[in-house]
């Protein structure tokens, strides 16, 4: 299995979240996007743990290429 992230989708996952810890899938292989389900286990890629302190709407990166992981920065707009 490759250690390069897979593009899960070319747009963000915009979700309302409650306070808590979230494990954002960095490998793109999770069946539970944008969250980790352990599919990275055969790679060197690890999820990013985000501690959300208040209820809010988050645009989680879907392309796995953002410079501001785990959040979308619009990088998906430049992907082929």
| Residue 8 C-beta-side C-alpha neighbours within 13 Å | 24
Structural domain boundaries enclosing 6: 1-63
As for how many domains the chain has, the answer is 1
pLDDT mean over 32-54: 97
Asked if the structure places residue 68 within a domain, the reply is: no
The mean pLDDT value of the chain amounts to: 96
Condensed to tens digits (0 to 9), the pLDDT of residues 59-70 reads 999 999 999 999
Q: Is the pTM higher than 0.75?
A: yes
* Mean pLDDT to the nearest integer, 38-43: 94
The pair of structure tokens assigned to 56 is: 């809010």
Q: Which candidate, 40, 39, 34, places its Cα nearest to that of 17?
A: 34
Residue 40 burial (10 A CB sphere; 0-12, 13-18, 19+): buried
Does some domain include residue 29? yes
Distance of alpha carbon 11 from alpha carbon 43, whole angstroms: 24
Residue 1's pLDDT band, with cuts at 50, 70 and 90, is low
């Amino acid at each position: 299995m490759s250690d390069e992230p897979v593009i899960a989708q070319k747009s963000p996952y915009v979700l309302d979240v409650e306070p808590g810890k979230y494990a954002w899938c960095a490998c793109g292989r999770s069946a539970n996007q944008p969250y980790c389900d352990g599919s990275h286990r055969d790679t060197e890629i690890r999820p990013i743990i985000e501690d959300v302190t208040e209820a809010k709407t988050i645009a989680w990166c879907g392309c796995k290429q953002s410079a501001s992981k785990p959040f979308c920065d619009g990088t998906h707009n430049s992907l082929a």
